[in-house]
Structure 1
């Protein structure tokens, strides 16, 4: 300022000099402090008319000081303070937006609710009415500071200190906070619970009503807010582009990357939602999935609502509901399953950031409709399972070996009739009665996560049918009933020979070179049973055990100690009455081979498919945790 008379500011100069020069040699401090302010002010006021009074600056010193000040200005904490002060000034002028503000002239409380709100400074009204201007003012102030105080025409400012860079950073930071505030709010919205078919029908009616739908009103508000800060293409630029396209001929690109419509700072966050509502013209540029739209979702929602109203208005609503549920269980219902899949697809299309909002708006309404239809009918399906399968199973196997420690054996042909793949009683029931909510993956039955929403499969039921399914694969490896395996004797101290007889098939081992011998269970039809004898160096041949009947081999295996020695390889051993060890190696063709049948000990077929009265796991918690993490 002392070197630039045209920039003279007497008040500022007097204030600064009073602080930096509180004393002067030859004058008492009291005298100097009384006359200094007037003297400094007089000097600076007279400087414009007395150019000869200006000083000649030390260029090196000025350059060093400027560099220090520029570094201070470029520090993030200074910029953060500028940003926070700007928001503080704007915050006073704009009220927070609540859910009711976003859904005017609708009864949003009947459909969903949230205790959260969006800060008023993060709205389109605030951006257009205050924030944008506040950023421009801050940038203008920075530019004025830098123009003559911190720079000269001979040096270029660092890019991160320039006013343009400051504007970009402040704008980017604002819209990042803008998007975060809206996402936190939207992911906190929860659908009101529905307890019966009347509640569900009321909710679907309200959601699909074009004039009174809180969902439509909220989506319209989001579309408006999501376009905040968009820069529209100038008319002249649009005309030039059109002329080039008209005259360009074959030079035009197949996909015009600049034709995606107005670019906005919120496109990365609100883009999927704008696409869903048809507000993003980029959908006409790229091959987007145009089948996903809010209007299509509402149409399908109305279709489900009409179906449920038919049930509610029927002469026997309970019977009709069970009939409708049966079509879902059997996989024959098209309207309900397609609509639920469509809602899940719409929610997924919004992306992970919108997971809570997508679940609440597009998945939960249909899930509640699902529960209304399926849960009351789950009990009747449990009863059908008990009558047609469990009762016959208990009649055939209860109190019989291997299901119980009993002398009487279970019928092998009857076991096959229950567990054989595809044609067995259990598989037929699951395929015909539960084909819509349960499917097979390899040897495992898996609940369909989409179509079984609102239902809770009994873990004991799934474990039981999967155990029997895996046993079926072992028992019917080659199509016919039976298990093939191999045995090999192991030389043991003071044991001369051992002889195993399994369903008429013999393994005689007398310490010769061991070799694998093939067996099959059941073996010879007219020689069922298992017998083991051994001969030691101190005594003759003695009988260790003898089990008659078709399950004799399995009874003998149960008496043995079993140790896994590798994939499909087991070491079997018994301790004879004379304390000598007898051992064999067992090699299976699939899984545990005949040892898999030992898992049937104390096995019982569960009487319930579904856990009636237990809420489906993870329906809300799946995305509630995401919301908490996203807000941190």
Structure 2
């Protein structure tokens, strides 16, 4: 009885679904009911029918055999052919877009989806029910004669069921327009090639990997050392851009992406007669993905390294403590960081790896394990994909006993020099009069004499420069600023003392000699030229002597003008207004003392004037007598003879 009732029900469902006189929306509903009946019978055939329908009387298979042809005819008319025509029309419209236009470029990704759906209808082995149901509704959101709500609800179910059963019924496939498919493939290959596809594959791969690897912080990179008193950064390195991630997951993930590349994309864009070229081969894809990964890898580490900020000490004692920790090979966070960077920089290198002790040490640091052995020397391993980024840093780590004179710089040598500076500064703080000794030390440098501190500052600047522009922020923060800021602690009191000495030896005596005198003030009392010469002479004047004696290592003369030597400024900032004033006085001295003694050489020419018949001018015994004659220039020197009145001017009417 149960089997007979099901057979009658199936027959009734089939008759209703076969009625072509019903409206399109009603026919789609009837087709969905038929589809649900078939799906129920499929499930019973796959998992077994209820026991009470068996006993040799079950007719599920026979019922299915009867319903499948009816379903196929209805689906062909209602869904398959309509979808084929819709996709064909949209692909044709895409082909007709102007080549190189923005419209074609914008429609490229959508056209790829249309072509993929169109080919799924023609290739049952590629049919993806879930993809087809979701994406074809986007391509065909409304249908004439069917309410939007009905179409949006029923179309995914009808399309999904059809695609799900298409592999088992290859006779349902469509016959594609080969010429249209070839044209669309050719356009898509030209428009997107593999770049857009590779970008999606790459990002998708990174998203999967990122979940497995936590971000690497500065604390992780410096192991058991404490960097908080020396430097810090809030930037992190994404965990997927680490050597561990590469060796344990990323490398294999890229291999898998390369292997499945054709199965995921190539069948849409290529076939036996339409090949896209060797650039889409798994090997080529693997190479491009690897290059892209290591480019992002290097940028991630550079971004973190260049964001590091050095902490300025508040006193000379704090600066000494910083240098002490910085140069201590066993406890230095900088050594730990350099070790980590060097080890990470060898990611992807093939062949002979780094020495086992080096690798183990860096692994312990990054793995947050206790008692990690610090190291400095590093074997120069084979070239790797990150050599262009980490090569300069690895070269600095690998150098031994570099002096900097021939470009042979080494991290180990720099640390030794930092220790020398720290010991020198400790002598300052241990002296009976620390301020006086600091001033003497700074004065020695201002006079152009090299000391350990300035030599090490120069060496640090060379080391930072050797890392290249890409590592500029990192090099400045960790190789230049530690010594620069320590030097400022010595420089501050010395600079104050220098300013005081200038005020007492130059400014105060200048004011005593020339305050209230012409030409520095509009009065009848002139400044003494011999006294002015004592200050202004470029060879032996007080100002020049002060600058040469006290700032000879910072300022130098270009002609008669004083300029700062930026390469040896030693951290001293010279007030530009001070230099401007000094050079203005130098310009005056060039004019007044052009002949050695104070004086000005000039020419005068008398011109006819109304109601004046004769003009006589006497200047320090030099006369100009004009009596309505031809004008001419006459030379004068001032002062000529100090005993003669300065000048006399007389005229006749």
Alignment TM-score > 0.5, same fold: yes
Match of 2:440 among 320, 323, 326: 323
Match of 1:267 in 2: 387
For the pair 1:12 / 2:98, whether they are aligned, the reply is no
Q: 1:306 aligns with which of 418, 423, 427?
A: 423
The match for 1:502 is 619
Q: TM-score, normalised by structure 1?
A: 0.68
More helix by share: 2
CA distance in 1, matches of 2:156, 2:637: 115
CA deviation profile, 1:519-547 (whole Å, cap 9, x unmatched): 22222343352344566xxxx2xxxxxxx
1:341 is displaced (CA, Å) by 1.5
Contact map agreement 2:487 2:571 (CA 8 A) in 1:
yes
* Aligned pairs for 1:495-534 within 5 A: 498-509=615-626, 513-533=630-650
List per-residue Cα deviations over 1:582-614 (Å, max 9, x = no partner).
Answer: xxxxxxxxxxxxxxxxxxxxxxxxxxxxxxxxx
2:242 pairs with 1:123: yes
Q: How many residues align?
A: 497
- Partners of 1:201 and 1:309 within 8 A in 2: yes
Describe how 1:139-538 pairs up with structure 2 within 5 A: 139-145=258-264, 148-158=267-277, 161-232=280-351, 262-278=382-398, 289-449=406-566, 451-489=568-606, 498-509=615-626, 513-533=630-650
Matches within 5 A, 1:547-626: none
CA RMSD of aligned residues (A): 4.0
- Matched position secondary structure for 1:439: strand
Q: Which of these two proteins has the greater Rg computed from alpha carbons?
A: 2
Cα drift, residue 442 of structure 1:
2.5
Alpha-carbon separation, structure 2, partners of 1:501 and 1:135: 98
How far did 1:316 drift? 2.5
In structure 2, C-alpha distance between the alignment counterparts of 1:346 and 1:210, rounded to whole Å: 18
State the distance in 2 between where 1:420 and 1:356 align: 45
In structure 2, relative to structure 1, the CA distance for the partners of 1:335 and 1:498 (3 Å cut) is farther
Aligned residue number for residue 256 of structure 2: 137
Deviations 1:63-101 (A, max 9, x none): 224324535653754443333222211111111111111
Cα pair distance change 1:498/1:12, threshold 3 Å: same
Contact 2:222 2:336 in 1 (8 A): yes
Normalised to the residue count of structure 2, the TM-score between the two structures is 0.66
Aligned 8 A contact 1:500 1:507 in 2: yes
How far apart, CA to CA, are the structure 2 residues paired with 1:76 and 1:188?
31
| Structure 1 pair 15–316 and aligned structure 2 pair: CA distance change class (3 A) | closer
Which residue of 1 is the match for residue 167 of structure 2?
44
Q: 1:100 aligns with which of 212, 215, 219?
A: 219
Structure 1: distance between partners of 2:255 and 2:285: 10
Contact 1:112 1:189 survives alignment (8 Å): yes
Quickly say closer, same or farther: Cα 1:81–1:526, change in 2 above 3 A.
same
Pick closer, same or farther for the CA change 1:84–1:290 going to 2, 3 Å: same
Q: Which runs of 5+ in 1 are unaligned?
A: 24-28, 235-259, 541-632
Whether contact under 8 Å (2:547, 2:555) holds in the other structure is: yes
Q: How far apart are 1:200 and its partner, in Å? A: 0.9
1:81 to 200, 210, 213: 200
Whose strand proportion is higher, 1 or 2? 1
Deviation at 1:199, TM superposition (A): 0.4
The corresponding residue for 2:56 is none
Stretch of structure 1 that moved more, 402-411 or 197-206: 402-411
Report if aligned partners of 1:488, 1:514 keep a CA contact under 8 Å in 2.
Answer: yes
